[in-house]
Amino acid sequence: MTAVTMDEYFVGVAKRLPGEAERVLRALVDQGNMNKEELSLTARVKRAVLDHVIMQLYALGLVEVTAEGKSRICSLTRLGREYVSLEGMVV
């Protein structure tokens, strides 16, 4: 088994994630931490789809979800920021 570089790993991740994931990541980069309602509107992703995308990004360690009262706040992790910068999502 050959070792995979971080760049190669991220390329594989990008191929497997749905298109909505890029919009969610872009919104978090552009606007910062947001609750799911704001994120859904900003990223133009339906709320039901957003929940699935957030869980995928969370499982990969790209997004963190914290509770703030009844809201769930989504933010990029350090690994998420690396992913975004390597994938060229930040202009």
φ/ψ (deg, to 5) at 61:
85, 15
Tally of structural domains, the chain: 1
Question: In this structure, is residue 38 part of a structural domain?
Answer: yes
**Whole-number Å distance between alpha carbons of 27 and 44:** 9
pTM of this prediction? 0.84
Q: In Å, what is the CA distance from 63 to each residue of 1, 2, 11, 43, 51?
A: 29, 28, 17, 14, 12
CA contacts within 13 A on the Cβ side of 24: 30
Identify the domain containing residue 74 by its residue range.
6-86
Question: Mean pLDDT lowest for which of 9-13, 15-19, 38-42?
Answer: 9-13
pLDDT, the chain, mean? 89
Q: What is the CATH number of the domain that holds 24?
A: 1.10.10.10
Question: In this structure, is residue 1 part of a structural domain?
Answer: no
Averaged pLDDT for residues 48-56:
94
> What local confidence, expressed as pLDDT, does residue 87 receive?
63
